[in-house]
Structure 1
Amino acid sequence: MKRVLSLFTLLALALTMFAQTQKKEYKVSGYDGFNASGIFEIELIKGSNEGVIIETEDVQLFEFIKVNVSGNTLNLNYDTSKVPSNLKDKKGKPIKVTVYIKDLVSLNLSGASRLFTNSSFSPEKFEAKISGATSVKGLEINSQSARIVLSGASSITINGNIKTASYEISGASRANINQEIGGLKLSGSGASKIEFNGLFEFAELSLSGAVNLKLLGSGAKRVELEASGACNFDSFDFPVEEMDIELSGVSNAKVFVTKTIGARSNGGSNIAYKGDPQIKSVDISSVSSFKKIN
């Protein structure tokens, strides 16, 4: 009986050890860009040290994970197509990754990764491309200029201060932007949903498809809005001094304007405004509307 119990004990211990998380450290350095493709849960940590720590449920999975530095970019790739059938129950699960980085100049994510950070980065110029079903949360960027592109079903939550910012958002992407910006150029297409909370001096906003864009915060000096298709724009809680609006299709705009407003609309589009701006120009088709909301 004691021998049987000992065998069961050893078997249980072996299974426990087998089920334990496997961890591997990669000693890499000399990068300020990050590129990841695959299924990862990534924590990005700013500090004086560099390197990568990867955790998996099975040591065999490390064979299919590639980590290298090319130029100034850290590359992380997980090729699930090469994972053998005996590991198929594990290959669809995210691989946990911790990345230590001194600063972040560029970010490129694709596949189905999720990135989280509590760090604030201050590059002179920042670029990001987020695609697939990836998500980014907690990112703070303080820079002179930034260009951020979202596509597919990706999402981002981003904070910080940027002098000149460009956002290109398409597909079914989601963006939550909490920033102070000097000049903003934003284009949205597809069925993307965008919420901006903060302030900017000047913005060019171009929307098409079925985009929803909501502005909240301290307001802006001047906004130029162009929307087509079935877009919805809401800045009732975002005062703008000067605004020019051009709508087509069946788009809708609700705006808060304090100094001057110009409006042009055709198709079945509607513009509703509050505030007491001077109306400098109005060109509204017979099936569109332009009205003040008290």
Structure 2
Amino acid sequence: MRNMQVSQVQGLLARRPNLLNSVSLITAFSFLITRGLLVIIKKFNVHTLHIMLISEAMHTLLSLNGFACEIISQILILSLFASIQPIVGYLAKFVRSARKPENTSLVDVITVIGASTGGPPIISYILSKLNPNIPSAILIVQHMPPPFTKDFAKRLDEISPLKVKEAEDGDVLLNGHVYVAPGDKHMIVEPKEDTLTVRLVNGPKVHGVKPSIDVTLASLAKYAGSRSIAVILTGLGSDGAQGCSLLKKHGGFVIVQDRRTSTVYGMPKAVIELGVADLILPYYLIPRELERVIRLKFMQRRCM
């Protein structure tokens, strides 16, 4: 299957056009070992065909993090095509075995994970499952008082393949990095030159809490709505609902934890009642779906 010809991939897509109804871009791969060519990105109908050719000598570069991650990040919804799955697995193994990069790209996608009661173990689970090479920065807004957020960030850093820290004012957002909002400070993002930075601000509590998820999401909606994702987890109250609504209006994507696996369903329920939840999931499915949405957002940004 690794030697699957381009014509076979094209024929498969042509025979199953119904799979293209909900997507504007299909990435089709044909890894031709004997010829050393990698064909990337097949757009159907009125779109343009883009092809990247890589010489046989560059095959070894697949073992390098940056290059492998760049390729894997462009494999969109290939799981729909059963006959192409071996190609996905063949390429993905290079990423799984690659060493974590020291030089991380500036941010492409921004993900906010917000939680309150029952949130810490769910956040820990999600971060432990994510690929360190995801093209997203992650902002954590957990309702927690000041003495505990620094230790929380340290614990997350120990269990996650991503780099986790308590956010500091002026932090530059980077792919593969996680920023935990300090207790008693609102965390917002602001543009600086060609990237985004963290700002920690004092101010009144919102919904009786500080940090507030709504405050963080409102700043993202203003500066980076179309490349942002909100994940609202278990928690009391409605913090995050208005921010998700605002984010949706600016092109963002919203994931919420389901009732069955939530310790307290208040915050996810508030988002659902506003009609802005794109996915409602048990906590154990969130890492997989979050990575999928991050890849889609990444490709949308790169294809703009």
Q: TM-score range by the shorter chain?
A: under 0.3
TM-score, reference length from structure 2 = 0.23
User: Higher helix fraction: Structure 1 or Structure 2?
Assistant: 2
User: Higher strand fraction: Structure 1 or Structure 2?
Assistant: 1
TM-score, reference length from structure 1 = 0.24
Larger Rg: 1
Give the number of the structure with larger relative contact order, counting CA–CA contacts within 8 Å between residues 6 or more apart: 2
